[in-house]
């Protein structure tokens, strides 16, 4: 199968991207879960699939690696442009940056933690990825997973209002990000279990009641956004994004 040129999706990570602030909101929530795990555990080897918006990697490097809570941090990405920017931003002797596709990576070690936030909606075969990286997870290790939710409250409202034919349909925005599918909570659980993993934690990352343009036009302030993050955690079935922790 011909591999995609992942550099084609770079514009979605630019500072001027329309949904940059929205992305940052739920990524910061995901990063806070990662941070709490770092503070509670001593981790030898940590692996991230993808560089993305740098929010999660910032947390792992600044909170974990630089504070000696992590011994080694490995990051893999298939975009040469993303790798180059990442190398310019970070320089640490125990940071290992590898340019490769997730399907091709063959590490010589196993990991205490594997982070795959907003990865499974991008890949051709998500169950293959889950099975593959399960083999690189230590017996007491954890995989941190996050995916967008097709049945987010705002998508459900849009569907029943006649604005969205199908909550699972891929929008132009999704295509810009390289999304191949939408998950709901049942489907992501099903894929994780099919891969031979058990789910130990499920949370929502943000409640999104209306579209981002509508939220901007209503001038939602910081207090409202914070409230949506807190409420969303309790209702993963209708949150904008879903977080899951998987273990052997």
Q: What is the pLDDT of residues 120-165, one digit of tens each?
A: 999 999 999 999 999 999 999 999 999 999 999 999 999 999 999 9
pLDDT above 80 for 229: yes
- The strands making up 70-77's β-sheet, listed across from edge to edge, are 95-99, 70-77, 43-49, 111-117, 137-148, 241-247, 198-204
What's the CA angle centered on 27, arms 22 and 29, to 5 degrees? 105
What digits encode the pLDDT tens for the residues 77-86?
999 999 999 9
What digits encode the pLDDT tens for the residues 101-125?
999 999 999 999 999 999 999 999 9
Element housing 56 (H / E): helix 55-59
**C-alpha–C-alpha distance, residues 64 and 37, integer Å:** 10
SS3 204: strand
């Amino acid at each position: 199968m011909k591999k995609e040129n992942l550099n084609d999706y770079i514009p979605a990570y630019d500072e001027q991207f329309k949904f940059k602030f929205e992305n940052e909101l739920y990524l910061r929530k995901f990063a806070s879960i990662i941070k709490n795990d770092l503070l509670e555990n001593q981790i030898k080897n940590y692996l991230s699939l993808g560089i993305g918006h740098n929010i999660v990697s910032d947390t792992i490097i600044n909170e974990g690696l630089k504070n000696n809570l992590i011994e080694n941090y490995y990051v893999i990405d298939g975009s040469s442009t993303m790798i180059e920017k990442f190398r310019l931003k970070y320089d640490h002797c125990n940071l290992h940056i590898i340019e490769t596709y997730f399907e091709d990576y063959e590490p010589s070690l196993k990991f205490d933690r594997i982070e795959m936030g907003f990865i499974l909606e991008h890949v051709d075969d998500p169950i293959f990825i889950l099975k593959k990286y399960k083999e690189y997870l230590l017996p007491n290790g954890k995989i941190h997973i996050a995916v967008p939710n097709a049945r987010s409250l705002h998508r459900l409202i849009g569907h029943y209002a006649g604005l969205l034919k199908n909550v699972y349909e891929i929008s132009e925005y999704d295509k810009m990000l390289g999304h191949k599918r939408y998950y709901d909570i049942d489907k992501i659980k099903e894929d994780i279990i099919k891969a031979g993993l058990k789910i130990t934690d499920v949370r929502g990352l943000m409640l999104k009641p209306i579209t981002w343009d509508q939220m901007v036009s209503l001038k939602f302030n910081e207090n409202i956004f914070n409230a949506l993050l807190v409420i969303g955690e309790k209702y993963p079935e209708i949150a904008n994004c879903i977080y899951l922790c998987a273990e052997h």
